Amino acid sequence: MNKERKRILTGDRPTGPLHLGHFAGSLQNRVKLQKEYETFIIVADVQTLSTNFDHPEHLPADVWQVTLDNLSAGLDPEIVNIFIQSMVPQIAELTVFFSMFITVNRLRHNPTIKTEAGQHGFEENMTYGFLGYPVSQAADILFCRADLVPVGEDQLPVVEVSRFTARRFNELYGTVFPEPEGLKSETARLVGLDGKAKMSKSLGNCIYLRDSTEEVRKKLMSAVTDPARIHKDDPGHPEICTIFSYHQAFNREESPDIEERCRKGTIGCVACKKRMIQVIEEILDPIRERRIRFEKPGLIEEILKTGTEAACIEGSRTMQLVRGAMHTDYFDRRKS
Ligand code: TRP
Ligand code: SF4
């Protein structure tokens, strides 16, 4: 049952279209690593319900959208398995077993849980499922015995719970799981178009992978820059400018030059933004082309079905090991 290649598991909550923050934070890494690692991409519909349990009607469209975004970003369905979390029953089984030995305090003190609880106003009263989503995410990662988990920075404390879960399980019952490693992308979190700390759908400050050329142009032209630059030759402060942070993320080679010219007041914000538009369009154009190909009727469904089948096969292998280790393989035990 040894794996031929090391394995990646990562994915997204289907809550709407993916944006450039996702692209910089994790999609780019996935695409880069897909040939080197056997890759499983989870569309985490159950995790979406940890906050959106009262709106399950959005799931079907959002699951399709997230899958299409991943494929458009460059994941190759011939070599990666994209699957739906709730359709892999072994993930639910593992969640229950893991929840027996992960303490409530560990979850309560998790930095990501604390931050997100604050964002959703759950501090005083949160559901069992929300508090426990890192346990369920440990099951997402460990059901295929993944080695590597590429994620955005915010998610590292959650991956830490998976590492602990693997370690603790192995200590308690015998070694079944590798200790999965979190891999943070080189690009720091992307700031929003409004200059807020984070590109986020709920803040309405994103460039989406599916945005048209016209939408990208409008959004970037009205993005916040250094307010001190009223005239074109006023010296600027790139370190506080949204557009400059995008140059650093997506236009690395040119960014030192832009920084210098901004400080000296030899580049105007309009020209600087226009250059940024070009850079983003170069990223989005191939994504748009692929999207058109994957929008063929029935194709997403077929890709999700194939990926989910592969995930279930891997999940049953893992459960055999888990049940053996936990003495819950009752009928196999009696035979031998
Ligand atoms: N929690 C992740 C997010 O909000 C999504 C996710 C669910 C995930 N299961 C995962 C990420 C497993 C990595 C591995 O973006
Ligand atoms: Fe920002 Fe560019 Fe204007 Fe400088 S020139 S403030 S980096 S948009």
272 C-alpha to center of ligand 1: Å? 35
Which residue CA neighbors atom 5 of ligand 1 most closely?
Answer: 12
Closest to 173 measured CA to CA, from 333, 330, 322: 322
Average pLDDT, the chain: 95
* Phi then psi dihedrals of residue 183, to 5 deg: -120, 115
Q: pTM score, two decimals?
A: 0.94
Residues having CB closer than 6 A to ligand 2 are 225-226, 229, 236, 238, 241, 243-244, 262, 267, 269, 272-273
Domains, the chain, in order of start with CATH, read 7-190+298-335 (3.40.50.620), 213-291 (1.10.240.10)
* Ligand 1 centroid distance, CA of 153 (Å): 12
Tens-digit pLDDT profile for residues 181-237? 999 988 878 999 999 888 988 888 999 999 999 999 999 999 989 998 988 889 999
Ligand 1 atom at shortest distance from the alpha carbon of 137? 9
For the stretch 75-93, pLDDT in tens is 999 999 999 999 999 999 9
pLDDT tops 60 at residue 314: yes
- Distance (angstroms) between ligand 1 centre and the Cα of 287 equals 22
Ligand 1 geometric centre to CA of 137 (Å): 7
pLDDT tens column, 176-197: 999 999 999 888 789 999 998 8
pLDDT at 104 over 80: yes
Q: 152: phi > 0 → left, psi -120 to 50 → alpha, else beta; which?
A: beta
pLDDT value of position 294: 98
Beta bridge partners of 213: none
The least confident of 2-11, 49-58, 97-106 is 2-11
- Say if residue 166's pLDDT is above 70: yes
Question: Is the predicted pLDDT of residue 126 greater than 80, yes or no?
Answer: yes
Q: Give the pLDDT confidence score for residue 332 in this predicted structure.
A: 87
